[in-house]
Amino acid sequence: MKVLVTGGAGYIGSHTCVELLNVGYDLVVFDNFSNSTPEVLKRIEKITGKSILFINGDIRDEDAIEKALFGCDAVIHFAGLKAVGESVEKPLEYYDVNVYGTLCLVRVMQKLHVRKLVFSSSATVYGDPEFLPFTEEHPLRTTNPYAQTKLVIEEMLRNLYVSDQTWRIMILRYFNPVGAHESGLIGEDPKGTPNNLMPYIAQVAVGKREKVSVFGDNYPTKDGTGIRDYIHVVDLALGHVKALQTINKPQCTAINLGSGKGYSVLDVIHAFSKACGKNVSYMIVPRRAGDIAEFYSDPTLAKEMLSWEAKRNLDAMCTDMWNFQVKNPKGYV
Ligand code: NAD
Ligand code: UFG
């Protein structure tokens, strides 16, 4: 089976390409490298010993998508913009790439009669928790433009399925992806200052930055810092393989991909310190605007529908992240 992977050079996409190649899928990767580099593709080939077909294109270019999609049986759609803060400053860009880009992709899929789609959504569609853990039935309400683009796309896909029930769509709602491939060849390489906790910690540990700023220690949590459901990126990648293998009948289903466990910011800093063998310095600073105190998944549906569950623990996430950071102190450059 041949699969089109949009955004396949990115963080989650590259790890998913490795796992798809490992189980024998043929791949076409479609990316414009706006947040990645061609070096990633070489490294995927090095890890797997297999080659991938690559098309450099923009997800808003239907002609380019058509060329890439020709002969494919399914699509995994990662391409998009993902920085919450940037989405507040540039909402139109986020609607353009995320919403309009997905519209273009789905239109071409419709034209070429490709009906299998796995879409990258996010736990951010749940907004402020009404109850925890988040099940897929939790109300959807968003608090920033990035999250809103994910919600609009989800609704568009549900509407599409109602109009044509030959579609096989899985919407995967990721919790907090971290870690790297155990080879240390691929991992997360954020441009500029990292927005997310784990890449920031890794850069402090390697000496690139001085201290982690812990955003608030007065949340109603066990140690006052924010709690999240961290998931190893390789487990997340394996979830996509399961989704592709399972999506054999018409549906449009949203599924959480998380571990079901919550860890605080201080838990993560301590686990990382253990993994890298030195104390990661931090200081408490005021809360970050818009942050939620605590959220984590109920991963039951993924277990039932995909026979999938996260296996790698927080120590493995930190060890693999550190290994990538040490082997690539300047990222992919
Ligand atoms: P990433 O930025 O590493 O990967 C996205 C890839 O898409 C990049 O290689 C980028 O170059 C490409 N891309 C961006 N705009 C494009 C365009 N217009 N045309 C073609 N390619 C384009 O991000 P990631 O962390 O791998 O995230 C992948 C997907 O998962 C995104 O849709 C993101 O919103 C979603 N997601 C990520 C997280 C997270 O914390 N990383 C959490 C939930 C959901
Ligand atoms: N945090 C710090 N210091 C930092 C960065 C983060 O204390 O320098 C804290 C945050 O306040 C939060 C926790 O660490 O309590 C995790 O923050 P991240 O920025 O790593 O992750 P978020 O949960 O805020 O958001 C991420 C992605 C979203 C996605 C969401 C759920 O950025 O796009 O996970 O998947 F929607």
Q: How confident is the model over 102-138, as pLDDT tens digits? A: 999 999 999 999 999 999 999 999 999 999 999 999 9
Q: Nearest C-alpha to atom 13 of ligand 1 is from which residue?
A: 79
> What pLDDT sits at residue 82?
96
- Check if 120 has its Cβ closer than 6 Å to any atom of ligand 1: yes
Decide whether any atom of ligand 2 lies within 6 Å of the 195 Cβ: yes
Which ligand does the CA of 236 lie closest to? 1
Q: Is the CB of 84 under 6 A from ligand 2?
A: yes
Over 70-131, what HEC string results? CCCCEEEECCCCCCHHHHHHCHHHHHHHHHHHHHHHHHHHHHCCCCEEEEEEEHHHHCCCCC
What count of other Cβ atoms lies within 10 Å of the Cβ of residue 273?
17
pLDDT of residue 330: 87
pLDDT digits (tens), the chain, 333 positions: 999 999 999 999 999 999 999 999 999 999 999 999 999 999 999 999 999 999 999 999 999 999 999 999 999 999 999 999 999 999 999 999 999 999 999 999 999 999 999 999 999 999 999 999 999 999 999 999 999 999 999 999 999 999 999 999 999 999 999 999 999 999 999 888 999 999 999 999 999 999 999 999 999 999 999 999 999 999 999 999 999 999 999 999 999 999 999 999 999 999 999 999 999 999 999 999 889 999 999 999 999 999 999 999 999 999 999 999 999 988 998
For residue 148, the surrounding DSSP H or E stretch is: helix 145-163
3-state SS, residue 260:
coil
Please name each of the domains of the chain with its CATH number.
2-180+231-258 (3.40.50.720)
**Amino acid found at 180:** A
d(CA 89, CA 100): 18
**Which residue CA neighbors atom 14 of ligand 1 most closely?**
80
